[in-house]
Amino acid sequence: MQTIQQQWAQCQTILADNLTSSAYRTWFAPIVPLQFAEGVLVLQVKSQFVAEYIEQNYIPLLSAAIIRVFGQGTRLEYRVLIDSTSGAGTVLPSGGSQQSAAAFINRQPKDENFDAQLNDLYTFDSFVAGEPNKLARTAGLAIAKQPGYTAFNPLFVYGGSGVGKTHLANAIGNQIRTNDPHARVIYVSANTFKLQYQDATKNNRIPDFLNFYQSIDVLIVDDIQYFAGLRGTQDTFFHIFDYLQQSRKQLILTCDRPPVELKDIQDRLLTRFKWGLSAEIKQPDYLLRKNILLSKMRRDGITLGEDVVDFIAQNVRNSVRDLEGILASLLAHSTLTDQEIDIKLAEQVVSHIVAIQPRTITVGDVVGAVAEHYGMPEKAILSSNRSREITQVRHVAAYLCKELTKSSLTEIGFKMGRRTHATMLHSVAIIKNQLEFDPALRQNIAQIEATLRY
């Protein structure tokens, strides 16, 4: 009596005779026959993608070979190995006997009570756009329209605490569910995922754990850095990641640092984190901080003087959460003490949350900011080069040094390449004259000044 391996070898011979060598080696040579019982042949394949590709392109030939060797009425099932350690896997019936693997996945009933664990307040409408988050936000909008079908899979969003990573991740998930209410979107912190995995291991429910996460359309994992050093959690997440990615499901990951700086994370995971787009959300600049304040004021019906808004935006630099905390504290103080929210109260409240340190701008600061703005080396500004372009930028630097530093023109000239007081005076006069009729120059100087002040 022939073994299942011998029978499958006969099928492989038939397949090899009817396919190109490349197609055979790619799709059929790696298949492992697992079981033939009660008229059902179970073949192990590397991934759901392989099963779906075979179903779409080779099922007539495969079905003919199976019927010839195993007999009429044989049904085919694919088994996708998910965890090699535990042997856990997912079985997909073949369309040659029942229905395609893709249809099998898609036919699973949508649970109307499925808890996405998303924060409904975190939407794109409440996510204030700015230069520090432009790339990540743009990618998020594209993903929300076509999850799993953009080049941004996975989307790896990184940045410091409080810059808006969690808000953006939730906004993407909420927008996807708005577009498709049946989409299985789930937000989970890395720590919660770890605890779920440990509970599943303890209670021998790893297959259920895997099956749940394999059914997800959009998986959002927050603070992925907390997987560091957790080998079992990383192994399991690796298999879930591969399964979802190959199934064209969307993965969104957030982290406090870029993939290259992660420690104690398996190389195979780090490689996959880099497959899609790594987008940094930087600390909010002055303009974004101010716009965030104005947005939250509109949302909460708060009215603050422009001087108060400017003061907060100038001094609360690191975190959006700090901005929210400042507004809440101002409201509380104003309500409890029946005191108007003015600059004095703002200084009092802000000083208890962040250290207010008046910034002293130096000539070096100005030259560096001007050089960066115009894309020019600092040494060119300080050199004796008299080309028109460099001379104009040098004039701008001299003007801003006069406006923003406490240095005299003699000191400024000395620090800008040992130039004389008269030379600096001439540069300042030229820029003052140009500002009267050159709006582009006014805009450039305003941008450089904002960079230096805020």
pLDDT tens by residue, the chain, 454 residues: 678 999 999 999 988 888 887 778 888 999 999 999 988 999 998 877 788 778 877 888 898 889 889 888 888 988 886 555 555 556 677 665 433 333 333 334 445 567 889 999 899 998 999 888 999 999 999 999 999 989 899 999 999 888 899 999 999 999 999 999 889 999 999 999 999 999 988 888 888 888 899 889 999 999 999 999 999 999 999 989 988 988 889 999 999 999 999 999 999 999 999 999 999 999 888 888 888 888 888 777 777 888 888 888 877 777 777 787 778 788 787 777 777 788 888 877 777 766 655 567 899 999 999 999 999 999 999 999 999 999 999 999 999 999 988 899 999 999 999 999 999 999 999 999 999 899 999 999 988 887 777 6
Per-residue tokens: 195: 């605890």
Tokens of 192: 């919660």
Q: Where are any strands of DSSP class E within 46-166?
A: 75-83, 88-93, 155-158
Classify domain 4-107 by CATH number.
Answer: 3.30.300.180
Q: Judge if pTM exceeds 0.75.
A: no
Domain range summary for the chain, segments of one domain joined by +: 4-107, 131-280, 286-353, 363-453
Residue among 331, 334, 324 at smallest CA distance from 296: 324
148: left (phi over 0), alpha (psi -120 to 50) or beta: left
Distance, in Å, from the CA atom of 357 to the CA atom of 206, rounded to the nearest integer, reads 54
CATH number at 286-353 = 1.10.8.60
Q: Whose structure tokens read 């959300």?
A: 281
User: What does the DSSP 8-state code read for residue 133?
Assistant: G
CATH of domain 131-280: 3.40.50.300
What distance in Å separates the CA atoms of residue 417 and residue 180, rounded to the nearest whole number? 63
Alpha-helical segments (H) within 146-189:
165-179
176: left (phi over 0), alpha (psi -120 to 50) or beta: alpha
- Per CATH, the architecture of 363-453 is what? Orthogonal Bundle (1.10)
- Do residues 4 and 36 lie in contact, with contact meaning Cβ atoms separated by under 8 Å? yes
Tokens of 363: 């000539």
The CA-based dihedral angle spanning residues 427, 430, 434, 435, taken in that order and rounded to the nearest 10 degrees:
60
**Residue whose C-alpha is closest to residue 171's, from 116, 213, 115, 214:** 116
Residues 261 and 225: beta-carbon distance below 8 Å? no
CA distances from 274 to 258, 270, 279, 429 (A): 9, 7, 10, 52
